[in-house]
Amino acid sequence: MASLKDIRMRIDSTKNTQQITKAMKLVSAAKLRRAQHNITNMRPYAVTLKKVIANITATQKVTHPLMTAKDSVKKVLLVVLTSDRGLCGGFNTNIIKFADKYRAENAPKLEKLDFFFIGKRGDDFFSKRGVKSIETYFKLDKDISYDLAKGVAEKLINHYLDGSYDEIRLVYNEFHSAISQVVTCETLLPIQVEQTSFDAEGSQFSKDIIFDPSPEAIVEELLKKHFNLSVYKAMSESVASEHGARMSAMENATNNAKEMINKLTLTYNKARQEKITTELTEIVSGAEAIK
């Protein structure tokens, strides 16, 4: 059985750990509020922008290489979005499992399946299994910005337009709430804009609008903005999901530490009582022996 000193040391160590997990929970909660605010403000703009593109392309019969699907998909680039740090429950594990399963199921069917990692955890996992990425971005949590997303988006667009890949897909955690993050796999390229606002009953959208500059120039510019925003939105969703997952994980860790402290304290009190009882028995026995 552990000595009283050992039990006291374990209690003190667990209390210190509890303070750390509690602090990490509070930090993640503060960052989550900012990330949620960012996503909430971004979603309406992203939806409206996509509708405008759909309206113009449908009414003006505009086509663009970024919206044109290939006849057959033989070359795929999978963008895997994870975090750089751990201690966030199953946040990274769920993404990595999905990406690894996708590779196992689709690699034999495709001519080429490459990876583009955003986040250290995904890169570390696949690197150990001999899967190299064409490019990797780190420090997403600290450096996330529209400029970063724009740089990533431009590289993805270049890979698609030069024919390196027939399809580019993105795997990330979509933020629903602090306790709910859903693994999502969506097609980034080609861009899909089927829904148009004038399809809805009662819409006032006119098909006789005169454009200046040309509809083709407008669509090209809006498509780039839409794609940049899609990448930035996915990054923001992932960061918010990471903070939510870490907040939940640290809350569970804090509660577990509290339970452990209670059990150790009970064990300590029992051991201390046994020691006191033993000492009293020895004193009484010694006194009886003297008589």
List active site positions: 88
**Which secondary structure element, helix H or strand E, spans residue 184, and what is its range?**
strand 180-189
Residue of 88, 93, 116, 119 whose CA lies nearest to 183: 93
Sheet with strand 75-81: strands edge to edge: 133-137, 112-118, 75-81, 167-177, 180-189
CB hemisphere CA count around 217 (13 angstroms)? 4
d(CA 170, CA 231): 9
Distances (CA, A) of 262 to 8, 201, 265, 269, 271: 12, 63, 5, 11, 14
Which residue has 């870490």 as its token pair? 246
Residues 6+ positions from 226 with CB-CB distance below 8 Å: 46, 49, 50, 53, 191
CB-based contact 207:55 (threshold 8 Å):
no
d(CA 258, CA 6): 18
Q: Is 261 helix (H, G, I), strand (E, B) or coil?
A: helix
CB-based contact 55:146 (threshold 8 Å):
no
d(CA 30, CA 37): 11
